Amino acid sequence: MKRAVTIFAMLLAVGCATYKNFGAGDTLRIAALRQIGGEQVAWLSHNTAALPSGMESVVTLKNMRAYIDDINAATGTVTTTYRYTGTFSTPAGQRDGTLIVQRRLHFSHDDRGTWTQSAPAEEIARNSEWSSGRAAS
């Protein structure tokens, strides 16, 4: 009987810990989606101060999409991939194409479990795909 109670208590503890981590991951996902939405609003309102660093090459933005690749509630990090389509300033002149940027977002949470961004986005990868046509004028 004691063994059964011990096993039940351990299963209950593991279950509660797992449930708590699922909740933390969900609220962290929501915080990351809010940050992504904030960047989209900054692009639409031409608020350059609210844009992430390194986006000075964007001349005209036609479309922006962002995807959440990974969520780590234990470290408070979210890895995201952004696809920017438009016209970009390059060493070869203005070009149409797509810029793909992968970033790691850092969050911290308070006692209530509310996640807030705790550091600027960290760029971890960048790639560009230019259209096969001539450069934009």
pTM, two decimal places: 0.76
Q: What is the CATH number of domain 2-130?
A: 3.10.450
Burial class (CB in 10 A: 0-12, 13-18, 19+), 73: buried
Antiparallel, parallel or unpaired: β 115-130 and 77-90? unpaired
Give the neighbor-by-neighbor strand order of the sheet with 115-130. Answer: 58-72, 77-90, 93-109, 115-130
pLDDT tens-place values along the chain, 137 residues long:
666 656 655 656 555 544 444 577 899 999 999 999 999 999 999 998 989 888 999 999 999 999 999 999 999 999 999 999 999 999 889 999 999 999 999 999 888 888 999 999 999 999 999 987 555 55
Q: Where are the domains of the chain?
A: 2-130
